Structure 1
């Protein structure tokens, strides 16, 4: 929706950049006042170029990952400033960023051709070190089998020279200085662990951790928590987002996540902090998993699909896997606006779904899942995503007052998966759309801000709909499903300090694995 306008603008900018001739070699200079910068302080840079231009610019990107490494657009810069002179100075703010490794590029004419060699730096926090949450649970283990996990990325604040140590816990558990947790459990049960992290200044923090140990003949993962989460430009619209995102995932004991709006790096960064596996699928979509990912596909650049998947090994003893998809469908025109702000008929609403491309996109995704759905009894299939469209299961006569009087609208993005054998986990758990509407758009936008051809309706109540989903097929049972946020989100434009880092609610479904 409106949050995608920024991505669209970036894509247009990338296309425009291709018309700027690439230089044979960057012949300018770029230097920083220091290789380490404390969060809150500006990044001060000095530059020179024999090709000054009013639209030359400096951009800050995460390292490794999102920058124009091949002088082409990959993802949006985190911070930027114009550098129009032949030589001069500029500053980039660090507010809202996370500690970590970054790189600054000096780039030509609103494009991505290098004017100088990029320069790397590290952003560090002045706050004392602290675990993002405590207590929390790591991935399951099995009695008699080697175990491995990590807590090395779960400390924020000043992590200079950070080392980890075991303070207390089950005898079989060992904790390495880099935060790796290993050992071989002897018997099933829940193992407790206390870990201390200490930085080079002598500041320390501890966390209480649990590990569920399954028996030698038990299923490794009898219960799976699956999440669909639109990150809202990676969380960049909310301060301190990465720590808040990690805290949410650990507090909710999530196992697998289908993400949208990852800004090209969020799946990798979150997974690396958690010690999980991931598939960072281009600039938009991503998948992360507490358990090993054994295959990834298709490549977005090759398929053109609005969805990607990963195979997740949920039991190493039996080799059992599940298939996890995430999808992000077109955002305009938007059906609930058409339903609430115009007198369009149901037929016109469906025609507009075709115009938006969503009908074709969901048909193509379901077609690509065909073989996986046939094998779903052996390997369950999940389809998560931001579909940017409601469900026909919500548009009932009794729920019509919540949808501007509309009812019995067969939205293709929900009817197509249903016909293919996928079930909507939220409506399985909560069959009454009046008692449990489950709206995911939007906990932040409560008033329509205009656009989409309805500028005259700016200031009207924002239609609240369920447009994010966790569908499933195979031998799974839905134990619970909820539209979830953290804390009590404040509405736009007062959202910057929210504990919740998205403009969507996420969908969290607990599955029993049969």
Structure 2
């Protein structure tokens, strides 16, 4: 075929195709879609409300959104969400495949952590109360985390000294882990008995505060009106007239002691954040939450102590003590691979020490290297029989369950109660909680007036 003829055939074919193409059926391909989560802005000023939107969520009632510091990595590790909500912004009963919510001072979601510390955060869309991530987006909160410069370690407050007194009281702090039924309730009862406690500050009692007292043969329980302070005792307990921060414990034959129990916010948890790479300023900023939680209680109990009332403060404080994060302990823990541990001025324990509260365990065991006294954690669950403890490789062990005393109270001894003699002074098997307990043998001068 000649060159000219080939060119003519090609032209004819092109012309014919141009006529036929409009008559052929057209196949369209829809754009790929899937779950998405977005925010109304990428950068927020400090304290500014954050509006989160989502679409094409998987369609489970308990699908949820969670905000985490980006440095903490994806959800599912030991660091909990800083803010979170089910998509129905309620109790996770309604399927909400698309929608919008706003976190703010007025509505900080399911975890009251507001305002956010300046830094970068990732918001995840997660499936059915679990940690499967189907979408995420990143935001930044601007602002200055700098507060007053922490004092150098040699200016940190020491643990105050005790007075000499006579009346005996054995006080125990015990987070019994969701009502004490996660392992065996009998293990919780045995722990209190073996500690020979006379008053117990109970955290996470669920509906089992009276059940625990009854199993011990005790008739005295106390729960504050706000449900925050929970105590059981071998001795009578009564509410003061003008405070929800403590209860009166009455000795046989007369005399009273003010006893209190706290369970502070668990997240953000400073040791985990430091492990995950947070700055000192970031962690100190977030510790303002614990200071605020303790403000009214600290004022009320300090006023009692100034009036020569014996005060015993028990609790799961969910924050370590500056007495444990020192140069000496940092050197020891860094040698064990915990490179993030450093001398750290935990504000709450420093505030308590400056107000005159004495850490009873550190009074009895002044050397935190020789006696770390870790209460978090034996595992969740702890070791049972041949079953090892459920612990992650990067778990941070610490002493966060504490007994403080103030006023005319003296610590004679203090012991950790837990799953093994390697980690505790008093052993109970099987151990029934994800926290170890602490029992302190005290001498007090009771209040005989008012």
Question: What band does the TM-score fall into relative to the shorter chain?
Answer: 0.5 to 0.7
Give the SS at the match of 1:224.
strand
CA deviations over 1:156-183 (Å, ceiling 9, x no partner): xxxxxxxxxxxxxxxxxxxxxxxxxxxx
Please report how far the alpha carbon of residue 232 of structure 1 lies from its aligned counterpart in structure 2 after TM superposition. Answer: 0.5
Please report how far the alpha carbon of residue 479 of structure 1 lies from its aligned counterpart in structure 2 after TM superposition. Answer: 1.1
Please report how far the alpha carbon of residue 266 of structure 1 lies from its aligned counterpart in structure 2 after TM superposition. Answer: 2.1
CA deviations over 1:49-78 (Å, ceiling 9, x no partner): xxxxxxxxxxxxxxxxxxxxxxxxxxxxxx
Please report how far the alpha carbon of residue 235 of structure 1 lies from its aligned counterpart in structure 2 after TM superposition. Answer: 1.2
Give the SS at the match of 1:393.
coil
CA deviations over 1:381-421 (Å, ceiling 9, x no partner): 01111111100000111100426453331112211111111
Question: What is the aligned partner in structure 2 of residue 454 from structure 1?
Answer: none
Any unmatched runs of 5+ in structure 1? 21-218, 301-307, 448-457, 491-496
Contact 1:382/1:472 (<8 A) preserved: yes
- Structure 1 position 365 matched with structure 2 position 297: yes
RCO comparison, higher one (Cα < 8 Å, 6+): 2
Q: 1:234 to 1:420 in 2, by over 3 A?
A: same
- Structure 1 position 266 matched with structure 2 position 208: yes
* Bigger helix share: 2
Q: Cα RMSD over matched residues? A: 3.8
Q: 1:15 to 1:244 in 2, by over 3 A?
A: farther
- Structure 1 position 233 matched with structure 2 position 178: yes
TM-score (norm 2): 0.55
Question: What is the aligned partner in structure 2 of residue 512 from structure 1?
Answer: 443
Contact 1:489/1:500 (<8 A) preserved: no
Cα distance in 1 between the residues matched to 2:79 and 2:212? 21
Please report how far the alpha carbon of residue 464 of structure 1 lies from its aligned counterpart in structure 2 after TM superposition. Answer: 0.4
Give the SS at the match of 2:327.
coil
Superposition pairs of residues 119-158 of structure 1, within 5 angstroms: none
Cα distance in 1 between the residues matched to 2:78 and 2:204? 9
Please report how far the alpha carbon of residue 309 of structure 1 lies from its aligned counterpart in structure 2 after TM superposition. Answer: 1.7
**Aligned residue among 325, 347, 366 for 1:431:** 366
TM-score (norm 1): 0.49
Question: What is the aligned partner in structure 1 of residue 195 from structure 2?
Answer: 252
Cα distance in 2 between the residues matched to 1:275 and 1:398? 43
Cα distance in 2 between the residues matched to 1:418 and 1:480? 19
Question: What is the aligned partner in structure 2 of residue 411 from structure 1?
Answer: 346
Please report how far the alpha carbon of residue 485 of structure 1 lies from its aligned counterpart in structure 2 after TM superposition. Answer: 1.2
Cα distance in 2 between the residues matched to 1:477 and 1:417? 16
Specify the structure having the higher radius of gyration (Cα).
2
Please report how far the alpha carbon of residue 252 of structure 1 lies from its aligned counterpart in structure 2 after TM superposition. Answer: 1.9
Q: 1:436 to 1:501 in 2, by over 3 A?
A: same
CA deviations over 1:302-337 (Å, ceiling 9, x no partner): xxxxxx421001242xx3110111011111111111
- The ranges of structure 1 where at least 4 consecutive aligned residues each deviate by more than 6 angstroms after the TM superposition are 1-6, 11-15, 17-20, 297-300
Question: What is the aligned partner in structure 1 of residue 231 from structure 2?
Answer: 287
Any unmatched runs of 5+ in structure 2? 1-75, 95-164, 383-390, 446-450
Contact 2:170/2:197 (<8 A) preserved: yes
Please report how far the alpha carbon of residue 471 of structure 1 lies from its aligned counterpart in structure 2 after TM superposition. Answer: 0.2
Superposition pairs of residues 212-231 of structure 1, within 5 angstroms: 222-231=167-176
Please report how far the alpha carbon of residue 374 of structure 1 lies from its aligned counterpart in structure 2 after TM superposition. Answer: 1.6
